[in-house]
Structures are given as C-alpha cells and as structure tokens.
Amino acid sequence: MLRPEQLADLVATATEILDEASGPFVAGHRADSAVRKQGNDFATEVDLAIERQVVAALTERTGIGVHGEEFGGAPVDSELVWVLDPIDGTFNYAAGSPMAAILLGLLHEGTPVAGLTWLPFVGNRYTAVVGGPLRDNGTELPALSTTGLAESIIGIQTFNIDSHGRFPGRYRVEVLANLSRVSSRVRMHGATGVDLAYVAAGILGGAISFGHHVWDHAAGVALVRAAGGIVTDLAGRPWTVESKSALAAAPGIHQDILELVAAAGAPEDY
C-alpha cells in the first residue's frame, strides 16, 4: 500500500494534468459524434484527444499505467493503475449541458485509493485519497453525516423502459417508483461520475448506478468512501471493480435505499 504522502504527491501531479486537460474539455463543448459505439453510445473527438493527452502525461510523470474508456490500456487488476473516463456524460457534453466531467481514479490491486473528478463547466475539482478528507478546489469538505432519505436528493441513471439486459427497464422503473414514494427529489443527471461526486460532497444523499464500467465508478467510489459514505452493489455487497451495479449513499440513507431496491424484486423476473 502506498504511504499517505505518496498518494498525496500522485494526486497533486494528477491535479496538474487534469487542469491541463480542462482547456480542451471546455473548448470542445457541443462536440459532434466521432466514433459510434455499442447501441446509441458514441465518443467525440474530444474524448479521444483528452484520453491521449492525459494518458501520455500520467505515464510520463507518474510511471503508472492507465486504463482508459476509449483505448483500454493497463489491466485494472494491476498493482497500481489509473482509470480514466475523459468525458463522463458524453451526451450531455455534446448537447451543451454542463453536467459532464473528467474522471480519474487510482486503483491499488483493484481497490480505489484515490479519486479526482473535474466538472470544468461548474468549477468543481473534487479530490480525495483513502481515509479522506474530500476536497473541492483544495478546500476540505466536511465528512458526510447521518441524514434521512425523505430529506435527500437521490440520483439515478437514465434508461429506456423497453430495454432488457442485466437490469431491464421495467425493473428500473419499479426501483424509481419505490424511491418516489419516499423522496420526491429524484434526479437524472445523465453522468454517473457526477452523481457519485455529488454524493461525496453531500449534494446528493445517494445515487444508483445500473452500470458496470469501472471507468464510470473508480474515481467516485474513492471520493464517496473518503467522505465517509458507503458504496456497494445493488445487492448490498461492497463495490469492487467486478461489480455490475453501484449504490453510493451517505450513512443513514444507504440501508434505506437498499431496502427499496430489494422491494422491487429480482431483475431477472422482469
């Protein structure tokens, strides 16, 4: 395990690198689709350019390999590896929404030990290392406190009700319906990493992700845990890089959301 001062040095270097990438990120807002991916997903030229830029800088300046969304790279089970999403919320980004971010997590043998989430359009630069605290633009934020679900904003991913797969659309609707009976403050930001960062910062009380991509989650898991929050999968097992879903929440809320998810039944029954 890296010493705290080593982690701090790595985050300081990564901070400089993400700051350098923020210029192209902002300049490319509303970028057109460049690369079609599975289904109706796509990458923009800016995704590709930022990933190349950040990967090259991290490799040169930290000596640690990088696993990126667009080009892959070092295995996520390496002793140390950076995990990068150059643009989280690509649809938002291309449409001109400010709900888009650069996500960078550091994994040690598969466990998130540091996280950085940059929201250049709204000015947030969240950083944390294992053990906390969470910082925004270098300012330490208070640890998450116990609160209630009814008083909290909850983030949930967007979806198509007719979709199938591991978590069918109709299952997701039932989870949403259960949440709505307790909290009328459900939000769909369309960016998993933004949701997780907002949980860590106490803006959201919790967030549900039906996704499994490590680059969407690594940075945010580190942030939430450093802030004193809880991150599991939807079955309540601690989140790992192999998890197929994520539930991140503040103390006092996580268990309540977990029970509402369980009340929806088994996804395979939908």
* Residues 69 and 165 placed together within one structural domain of the fold: no
- Is 203 labelled as part of a ligand binding site? no
- Is 253 labelled as part of a ligand binding site? no
- Is 19 labelled as part of a ligand binding site? no
- Burial-class residue 270 by CB neighbours within 10 Å (0-12, 13-18, 19+): middle
Q: In the listed set 83, 114, 140, which residue is the last one of a domain according to the structure? A: 140
Can you give the pLDDT at residue 209? 98
Note whether 31 and 45 are within 8 A (CB).
yes
Can you give the pLDDT at residue 70? 81
Can you give the pLDDT at residue 32? 59
* Residues 132 and 167 placed together within one structural domain of the fold: no
**C-alpha to C-alpha distance for 105 and 113, rounded to whole angstroms:** 8
- Is 69 labelled as part of a ligand binding site? yes
Positions in the chain short of pLDDT 50: 34-42
* Residues 99 and 158 placed together within one structural domain of the fold: no
Residues of the domain holding 11? 4-140
* Residues 196 and 91 placed together within one structural domain of the fold: no
- Give how many domains the chain has, as a whole number: 2
* Residues 162 and 241 placed together within one structural domain of the fold: yes
Q: In the listed set 105, 140, 175, which residue is the last one of a domain according to the structure? A: 140
- Is 88 labelled as part of a ligand binding site? yes
Can you give the pLDDT at residue 185? 87
Q: What is the CATH number of the domain that holds 125?
A: 3.30.540.10
Report the candidate in 160, 185, 133, 166 with the shortest Cα–Cα distance to residue 233: 166
Can you give the pLDDT at residue 42? 45
* Residues 69 and 175 placed together within one structural domain of the fold: no
For residue 105, what are the β-bridge partners?
83, 115
Can you give the pLDDT at residue 172? 96
Q: What is the CATH number of the domain that holds 252?
A: 3.40.190.80
* Residues 126 and 158 placed together within one structural domain of the fold: no
* Residues 134 and 24 placed together within one structural domain of the fold: yes
* Residues 9 and 131 placed together within one structural domain of the fold: yes
Phi, psi of 103 (to 5 degrees): -115, 130
99-133 pLDDT tens trace: 999 999 999 999 999 999 999 999 999 999 999 99
* Residues 239 and 131 placed together within one structural domain of the fold: no
* Residues 155 and 216 placed together within one structural domain of the fold: yes
Q: In the listed set 96, 116, 140, which residue is the last one of a domain according to the structure? A: 140
* Residues 167 and 64 placed together within one structural domain of the fold: no
